[in-house]
Structure 1
């Protein structure tokens, strides 16, 4: 059986590197998509978002606040307006992502200890830019608010140290972990590249057996294996570790360093986790290929199953906030468990023992799909062998 398995493995490797349907999908499309995704987010983070200023106060204080707001990373005042309607028009047409409004007599009211309301307008349809504008605007306005209180207290004769405490009784120390600069490329590129590989190996998996029918080589395959089902499924499965490793090296040695990563992904932890996920996808694809003979149908099944994986995985939106049926659907995808593990070992740099649960689930995907593919294809092969005798 070992000899048959080796023969099938060598044969499959030849097919991988000589049949366009295989080598284009495995070696040409992924690097192209990796670079395409990287170039989209090459600016790494959002800077200098166009913002509208509506200053009804026209005072020294409002001018100072405008200057401070302009110094932030995300706010860049590009339009000056004189009413709310004009501001909303600029935001609605996409010419600006937000607006700041200083009310009339703001400085005078502050000096008279009257409450003042400063307006921060954002386009929440663009979720990330609106949050960045709000965050930077609030930092400046809270600092200004503390400065106003401090000035009032010192004028009343309160000691400076006491006045500073009263102006800011609670100090807020914000420490963003794992991606402190809100870098788009460091957040999204690992996710987009891994979900691309997930789709590739699931798609290849559904072609592994069915493509033999299209090329009319199924009889040759069975004879080479000595009609050993395990040798056919196992030999083909083992052969695809070569393209898995090649794609891993392309990612970690070429793509990630090209877009500003170090070699932190060139590690056993990430390699092991990625191989498990891709193996699970391949085994699942092979099971679908064994179940159904029609190539178009199996390809549609693979695309239907893998296309929404990024959305359902929890990479950009927490799964616990999704409807219960979507949460169950997400659990059926190997990529979901890869993402859970990736956040721990890739983003947080935790040891592998923290992802024991995810590793176990991915191994279960591999074992279950592989064994069931053997049973289904073996049953189909036996039925076809008995047909002439009937």
Structure 2
């Protein structure tokens, strides 16, 4: 009896795998989508570090020192000075139109005040819609401003009769050695790709399970010859076999190929991915019970892809998202999975610190498994009633 039961379950899993591969829409979404997105999404970020950001200057001093500051800024690898305007309002219009990404305002009396030893305030800003672009503008201008300040200090030391060599040593007595902790390249790829790949796995898995279920409820097939519990377990098992390969491809090969920082061991990553894939599979089956048209799961899930990405917290600060949305998003498996994976795999967090999110994923699996079981039971029962 046990042997027959096991064999029937294995046959069910094989039938599910055949149905997935034979369905062109599902095959293209799963196999084509995962491979295509592994190249498409990281492509815009391959240059890694933003350089030569366009800067507009408002020079109200028109002195030799202000011109020197502008030359230093233009010489920076981060900045390219594309023009000068006469007012801040004009500079803001350049930024709003996309013509420039940042501005520098040199106040009137800049050279005079520095030579007199007075404090001088340089004003600079940038397009904060893209934090790495803003960071590049700010870093380049801070470096240029420090160079200008050192030049004035050197002139003062030489005027007081200090030897040039000793003056240079005094100016460079303290050196900053900046070592990035979680993003060694300071680039887009290491910042965006890890979370984005998990979101791709989440969305394609939901779409695949959604299309498969929605297209079966009104038709006859092997899914009517098994119990709802067997169907849910068999479907989860079939998709898990496929997505274990996809996950290994993303977290293994793609992370290596795109030089993404990896801090966690393979065993911990596998342990983390298990409840994520299980909960997402169960959620997809439960979602499929809401539809009887094959096109609807794809349309709905594509619409919610962007909101899920923002509430996940890796591309947009959670502090800027309404609190109710953050609480509601906790029932989406991708949200705790992405943040926990970033902490564990990219930041080197201990397992105990991500344990609450890991337990949350198991709780979501239990919740969606029960919903899937209930939904499949209702669908199969209604299908039997319609045919009888």
Counterpart of 1:353? 352
Counterpart of 2:182? 178
Counterpart of 2:204? 200
Q: CA deviation at 1:217?
A: 3.5
In 1, distance between residues paired with 2:94 and 2:321? 33
In 1, distance between residues paired with 2:309 and 2:199? 6
Q: CA deviation at 1:65?
A: 2.4
Counterpart of 1:217? 220
CA distance 1:138–1:337, change in 2 (3 Å): same
1:85-125 CA distance string (max 9 Å, x none)? 65445434322222323344432332233443433243445
- Residue 30 of structure 1 pairs with residue 28 of structure 2: no
The runs of 5 or more residues in structure 2 that have no matched partner are none
Task: Give SS of 2:20's match.
Answer: helix
In 1, distance between residues paired with 2:348 and 2:200? 23
In 2, distance between residues paired with 1:106 and 1:387? 84
Q: 1:190 aligns with which of 191, 194, 197?
A: 194
Counterpart of 1:108? 112
1:178-224 CA distance string (max 9 Å, x none)? 1144210111112222211111111122233222236x333x3322x
Counterpart of 2:80? 76
In 2, distance between residues paired with 1:18 and 1:69? 59
In 1, distance between residues paired with 2:385 and 2:70? 84
In 1, distance between residues paired with 2:197 and 2:361? 19
1:79-90, aligned counterparts within 5 Å?
A: 79-81=83-85, 84=88, 87-90=91-94
**Does the CA contact (< 8 Å) of 2:209 and 2:284 recur in 1?**
yes
**Does the CA contact (< 8 Å) of 2:78 and 2:136 recur in 1?**
yes
In 1, distance between residues paired with 2:363 and 2:101? 47
1:103-252, aligned counterparts within 5 Å?
A: 103-142=107-146, 144-145=148-149, 148=152, 152=156, 175-213=179-217, 216-218=219-221, 220-223=222-225, 225=226, 228-252=227-251
**Does the CA contact (< 8 Å) of 1:9 and 1:239 recur in 2?**
yes
Structure-1-length-normalised TM-score: 0.83
Counterpart of 1:16? 20
Q: CA deviation at 1:388?
A: 6.9
Structure-2-length-normalised TM-score: 0.84
Q: CA deviation at 1:62?
A: 2.8
Number of residues of Structure 1 aligned to a counterpart in Structure 2: 384
Q: CA deviation at 1:304?
A: 4.7
Q: CA deviation at 1:168?
A: 11
Q: CA deviation at 1:236?
A: 1.2
Q: CA deviation at 1:69?
A: 2.2
Counterpart of 1:318? 317
Q: CA deviation at 1:387?
A: 6.6
Counterpart of 1:3? 7
Deviates more, 1:146-155 or 1:343-352: 146-155
**Does the CA contact (< 8 Å) of 2:264 and 2:346 recur in 1?**
no
Deviates more, 1:166-175 or 1:265-274: 166-175
The runs of 5 or more residues in structure 1 that have no matched partner are none
Q: CA deviation at 1:358?
A: 1.1
